Amino acid sequence: MNNLKLKILRIKAGLNQAELAGRLNVTQAAISSWERGLTMPGTKIIPKLAKTLNCTIDELYGEG
């Protein structure tokens, strides 16, 4: 997953880290970790993440 792309998509969606975390039922620290490239979201959360950010899974991976 492209961590910079994730941050850009989140900002484009008008969400801060805490708001995105609330929608995904994860911690703000998890979002921060994903955006810094330290960890990645689990496979079960990726479709919900894409839907919340109004993008495709390919876009999350920097391919769209």
Token pair listed for 41: 């979201």
Per residue in 10-50, pLDDT (tens digit) is 999 999 999 999 999 999 999 999 999 999 999 999 999 99
Report the run of H or E that residue 55 belongs to, with start and end. Answer: none
Q: What is the DSSP string of 4-54?
A: HHHHHHHHHTT--HHHHHHHHTS-HHHHHHHHTTSS---TTTHHHHHHHTT
CB contact set of 8 (below 8 Å; sequence gap of 6+): none
Q: Tell me what pLDDT residue 64 has.
A: 56
The pTM of this model reads: 0.91
